[in-house]
Structure 1
Amino acid sequence: MIRDSGLETDAMLLKGRVVVYSVVGCPYCKRAKARLEELKIPYHDINLDAFPDLRADMQERTKKTSVPQIFFNNKHLGGWDDFAEAEFKGTFSEFLGEVADNEVPAEAPQLPVMQRTESGDDCDMSFGIDEYYQLVLDIRKSGLIGDHRYHLRNYKNSFVGSELVDWLVANKNMSRKEAGDMGQELIQRKFGHHVTDDHEFKDGYFFYRLVEDDESEALNTKFPSELEPMPAAQLSENLRRLILKLYADYLSDDGRSVDYAGMAKSEQFEQYVKLSAELQRTEVGKMTRQETLAFFINIYNALVVHANIERGPPISVWQRYKFFNTVSYNIGGQLYCLQDIENGVLRANRKGVGQVRAPFSRTDPRLCVSLDRCEPLIHFALVCGAKSCPPIKTYTAPNIDQELRLAASSFLDGEAVGVSGNVVSLSRILKWYAGDFGANKHEILAFIVEHLPSESEKRAMLAPLLKSRSYSIEYQTYDWSLNGSS
């Protein structure tokens, strides 16, 4: 987002413009913006999570990849350390004079403009209504759906294949073969399936069920899928933009708390829930590694928010176990719970905390979606809804590797890592998933040092400890309380 600093009328009146490039959850960004506000200097915050395309422009201007990067008109101040140093040395007044006395030159960083469609929505909703969606509505009105019994089992909210064919022949003016082909197409398009998922559509005494009639806990089957199937990467980007709108209005500036009550009542959340239904029929097995990472990280974080709104947060250990193993979306006709997304897809089908086996068996159709290698940086991007989690943000496929490195850098340089003498305290995330970061404590500490910002004080303190191997590690208590705003 482009965010004005929101200072009161006693703020300085500037001819020029102060620009801060930032990302959600970055402690240095937060310090820089807080200091500008203390000094009553108005600024424009360009959030690179919302405008990832501007990252390349920032890097070209600064020759740096870290944030924040601060400009006074076209004069580059630098990051937080540069800001503090300029104040200490008395050179900050030169930058302030630049914007106090001069208009914004053409070569200064420009503020981006949100591109929106005529509907006012910046999501690409150019995909039309799927013709088989109308067939679903007609079937629902036909009286075909009911409870059917076979071999002492009762199949609720189902319809019989031969009865559907009879109805299509009578009402759609088609041959029996054409009607059977239409039934098969209905199944292939993932609007419905056989009640036990064991075969295709048949013109006989076989039971089928529409997806939204499943006895499923998936949170995105409240509405049927309506649109022609979108490529997964495109649907992911549309969902990301909707999520970004929600975060803009209901996420705290540091990305650590959510106004769940306000979000639940918003039109944006209702729009998100409806669009999430389109996940039911998207094809996720053909995405690239970058697309898979961005897609499933964003979906995981959105699913946690969705579940906290609709079900409420888990309180006890048992509720948390149930939460991560049952909260799910229907994606491409398959159920993915939070454990499946994290451990099955993003950790390359590894056992998670408390699991006795990997999420996907060799015959599981979801295995083809799993990454071919574990990506340890996901642990600094996935947000389970607890206060000890990393900040919430969204991720883009083209920039996913850089965005994950920045997320790791910000998280590790925050409260997740502490140094007191030769004692290093770490977030329990680094204990629970220790094998993702290294084979022993030295490799884990080396991973942390490598991913801390080059200017970090913690990095400077940890490097000699790592070299001497004279240190001990303790793990912090994990705060499971909800990251909701009061």
Structure 2
Amino acid sequence: MGRITLFTSPDTYSVFVKKELDKRGLPFQEINLAAYPSRRTDLESLTSSSAVPQVFFNTRHVGGINETLDELKKWDKCSRYGSLLERYEVQIGKMPDPKDKRLFLPTENDTRRNSFTSDLYLRERAVLELPDGTLTTVLDITEKLQDALPRGEHRYKDTLYLNAFTGKEAVDAFQKHLNLSRKGAIAFGRGLQNANVLDHVYPSISRKYDFQDSADEVFRLQCFKSPDVLNSYRIWDEPVLHDAFKLVSDMDRMLTVMELSSMDNEGKFDYLSLARSDFLPAFEEATCQLQKIEFKDMEEAEKKAFCINLYRLMMRYAFVKVGSFTSAADKKSFLRQVKFNIGGRLYSLQEWVDGILRCNRKSSAMSRAPFGRLDSRRKYPLNELDNRIHFALNVGPAFASTGSLPFSQFTPNNVDEELDIAARIFCDDDSNVSISLETGKVRLGHIFSKYRSDFAKSDKGLLESILANLTGYKALNMRKLLSSRFGKVVFDDMKLGNSAANSPVYDAHGAKTEFKGLIARVTHRFQAPKNPENERSRMITLRELNLLDTLPDERFDRITRKVQEEFEAPVVLVSLMDEDRNWMKSSQWVFPGECPKESPREISFCGHAISTCTDDIFMIPNALEDDRFADNPLVTGPLGVRFYAGFPIRVPSFDGSAPVTLGTLCIFDVKPRDLSDTQLDKLREYGSLVRKEILRQGRPGSYEKKARSSAHQGQQSVTPSRAGVSSNRIKPTLRSLFFV
């Protein structure tokens, strides 16, 4: 008899399709490609795709998850039959079995890949003794202490620590919950400190701060110590029971189970719900075993598979622990700030990609390789670059992909074949590769722009490298474009988000546990500047001008001195806004000491000025009365900024799009004030002079010629270049929070 046949793997999309069929009472048969990998060739020959799930109604190929859901919705609306099951029996069940051998169900003759039961669900051995003599575990006591101990903000040595408590508060809590004397509570606290469950917020190599009954000493649970380090729930000081591959595979299964339990009716994850799962603490503790894993001596194929699997796992974990990003700037911060501990060494997500998987190579947004000459992590990268890793790292439900891999983990013996499959699934997704014969354009995802050097230097070479991963009509269309020599490459913006219906929002400050100096005073009446809509074009233009980190120039200093004299302002700056900092090309400064050469963009006045994308002056008469700045550390700190006026320096974009704002000519004052119309006109005149000097000094002649050429040709994609850096380029030695 006929049947519904599913090609699946242990992924969330496959599980969701099966749930939808079960919910409607429709029977189906399953070919699990993770269990029977030899059947992948059947799937590819039937569908010209490697992605799962793929659904067949008898021999009719319905499609993947989106097409199947659309088909089921049509069935829901049909009133011709008394029930969906009746329609199934008439249209599918009464038909003969599929005669195509590729749709035959697995038999005992098919090679089955053995699975194993996860040991990570087993409780660890008891390692701590409570005052009443009962034994407990690090996991159990950590969870109980989170409820029992107070958590708040405490200042220690001019630093504000979050999720902390004083020794006295802890002793009071131990007395209340464990019925201990104060002496017994102190002894219990020191036992927890020796077991690395809690520690002083100010650890020192030269001095150990023992737990004590004091309102002046501040402590914190280990699980709250480093929220930007994913696997820092505890310090793992026990043997690791499994090898690296089995450990990561077990953790992947644990997380998949939690993801499935949080899935909504649309097949999307609820990460907020998942973060409250009773199983999450056990998973978080299990990941801490990675602190003991060494991978330096793995064979190349084994290391490649392990490092890909680990990155995919850590990205999914990060969405739960620190949240999802909502802007390109947040995504860059997310990749650079969120870290994990492998073998006692910390790696950010970006360092893992560029440093380990890309053989310690810089990306288009970096000025140097991730691991310097003296960095001990230089011993760990792969030996040879394989551009297919980019596809492997960006396929699956958690990565906003429409297809899933037909296997759960990359394996050492089959990693080349599995990377080819990942490449085909990625390039088959129209959001990554879209070809239009009518316009002659090929739209490519941001990955191809960011890592273009990993694929090819020329547009033709890039398209040829992509063609190797295309099948069916897409491959045919790409060949037509290449043969006509008419293909034009257009890069899309960075892809954001994931397959989540509800998720915590990533906040760079939320991943911090301490704030020093002025930044600790940031409270509610403060807004970080947003990036302008043309941020990518702006950064390309700024890089091409090659003015960042250059020596002082009298031509700019002459202008800022004149502005300071005419406006009687204590501070005048010519600033250029880099990706995450504001760099001062020229400054006039009346306060003691030298003016800082750069400062963070996140507390920036000038950042707000450039985000407006206009030619007009951005002015704040009294920062204390403006909700965007009232609690800014530049306002509440010792300098006490009250007034700001910034003229945006706008220049033609290097890629031929709309003009971009590189920075400002700005003035600060410590008292509220306003500018007359005459003064505003004067500031505009001086700003125009700064603009001319920037265009004159930044790559004389070359930039304007290229900008005009780009505008004339209407180019829509340019790869930023760092070549041709002028000889007067220097590196800053001072970072400060004083001025932006």
TM range (shorter): 0.5 to 0.7
Within 5 Å, give how 1:131-280 maps onto structure 2: 212=222, 216=226, 217-225=228-236, 227-229=238-240, 230-250=242-262, 257-280=268-291
What one-letter code is carried by the residue in structure 2 that aligns with 1:409?
R
> Residues 213 and 249 of structure 1: is their aligned pair in 2 closer, same or farther, counting only changes over 3 Å?
closer
Structure-2-length-normalised TM-score: 0.44
Q: Which residue of 2 aligns with 1:43?
A: 28
Q: Which residue of 1 aligns with 2:552?
A: none
What one-letter code is carried by the residue in structure 1 that aligns with 2:453?
G
| 8 Å Cα contact 1:427/1:475 also seen in 2 | yes
Confirm whether residue 56 of structure 1 aligns to residue 38 of structure 2: yes
What one-letter code is carried by the residue in structure 1 that aligns with 2:271?
Y
CA distance in 1, matches of 2:3, 2:401: 35
Q: Secondary structure at the match of 1:20?
A: strand
- Flag structure 2 segments of 5+ consecutive residues without an equivalent: 68-90, 130-134, 142-156, 165-193, 195-202, 211-219, 503-740
Confirm whether residue 312 of structure 1 aligns to residue 323 of structure 2: yes
| 8 Å Cα contact 1:72/1:98 also seen in 2 | no
> Residues 392 and 72 of structure 1: is their aligned pair in 2 closer, same or farther, counting only changes over 3 Å?
closer
Confirm whether residue 329 of structure 1 aligns to residue 345 of structure 2: no
Q: Which residue of 2 aligns with 1:446?
A: 464
Confirm whether residue 406 of structure 1 aligns to residue 421 of structure 2: yes
CA distance in 1, matches of 2:113, 2:497: 37
Q: Which residue of 2 aligns with 1:98?
A: 97
CA distance in 1, matches of 2:495, 2:358: 23
Q: Which residue of 2 aligns with 1:459?
A: 475
Q: Which residue of 1 aligns with 2:409?
A: 395
Q: Secondary structure at the match of 1:330?
A: strand
What one-letter code is carried by the residue in structure 2 that aligns with 1:97?
P
Q: Which residue of 1 aligns with 2:485?
A: 469
CA distance in 1, matches of 2:400, 2:238: 38
> Residues 212 and 331 of structure 1: is their aligned pair in 2 closer, same or farther, counting only changes over 3 Å?
farther
> Residues 333 and 269 of structure 1: is their aligned pair in 2 closer, same or farther, counting only changes over 3 Å?
same
Can you list the C-alpha shifts for 1:343-371, whole angstroms capped at 9, x where unaligned?
11111111134221111112222222211
> Residues 258 and 71 of structure 1: is their aligned pair in 2 closer, same or farther, counting only changes over 3 Å?
closer
> Residues 324 and 478 of structure 1: is their aligned pair in 2 closer, same or farther, counting only changes over 3 Å?
closer
What one-letter code is carried by the residue in structure 1 that aligns with 2:38?
A
> Residues 344 and 329 of structure 1: is their aligned pair in 2 closer, same or farther, counting only changes over 3 Å?
same
| 8 Å Cα contact 1:220/1:277 also seen in 2 | yes
> Residues 458 and 71 of structure 1: is their aligned pair in 2 closer, same or farther, counting only changes over 3 Å?
closer
CA distance in 2, matches of 1:388, 1:70: 18
> Residues 72 and 66 of structure 1: is their aligned pair in 2 closer, same or farther, counting only changes over 3 Å?
closer
> Residues 243 and 106 of structure 1: is their aligned pair in 2 closer, same or farther, counting only changes over 3 Å?
closer
CA distance in 1, matches of 2:244, 2:209: 26
Paired residues in the alignment total 390
> Residues 292 and 72 of structure 1: is their aligned pair in 2 closer, same or farther, counting only changes over 3 Å?
same
- How large is the RMSD of aligned CA atoms in angstroms? 5.2
| 8 Å Cα contact 2:391/2:423 also seen in 1 | yes
Q: Which residue of 2 aligns with 1:167?
A: none
What one-letter code is carried by the residue in structure 2 that aligns with 1:400?
V
What one-letter code is carried by the residue in structure 2 that aligns with 1:463?
R
| Structure 1 position 253, deviation (Å) | 11
CA distance in 2, matches of 1:240, 1:22: 17
What one-letter code is carried by the residue in structure 1 that aligns with 2:236?
S
> Residues 243 and 112 of structure 1: is their aligned pair in 2 closer, same or farther, counting only changes over 3 Å?
farther
Confirm whether residue 286 of structure 1 aligns to residue 297 of structure 2: yes
Report percent identity of matched pairs. 23
Q: Relative contact order: is structure 1 or structure 2 higher (C-alpha 8 Å, sep ≥ 6)?
A: 1
CA distance in 2, matches of 1:358, 1:305: 26
CA distance in 1, matches of 2:313, 2:355: 18
| 8 Å Cα contact 1:383/1:390 also seen in 2 | no
Q: Which residue of 1 aligns with 2:640?
A: none
Confirm whether residue 302 of structure 1 aligns to residue 288 of structure 2: no
CA distance in 2, matches of 1:345, 1:241: 24
> Residues 231 and 24 of structure 1: is their aligned pair in 2 closer, same or farther, counting only changes over 3 Å?
closer
CA distance in 2, matches of 1:307, 1:369: 23
What one-letter code is carried by the residue in structure 1 that aligns with 2:248?
S
| Structure 1 position 376, deviation (Å) | 1.1
Can you list the C-alpha shifts for 1:253-284, whole angstroms capped at 9, x where unaligned?
999x4321232233443332121011111112
| 8 Å Cα contact 1:211/1:224 also seen in 2 | no
What one-letter code is carried by the residue in structure 1 that aligns with 2:27?
P
Q: Which residue of 2 aligns with 1:20?
A: 6
CA distance in 2, matches of 1:362, 1:125: 41
| Structure 1 position 61, deviation (Å) | 10
CA distance in 2, matches of 1:325, 1:448: 28
What one-letter code is carried by the residue in structure 2 that aligns with 1:325?
R
| Structure 1 position 406, deviation (Å) | 1.5
| Structure 1 position 63, deviation (Å) | 8.2
- The structure with the largest alpha-carbon Rg is 2
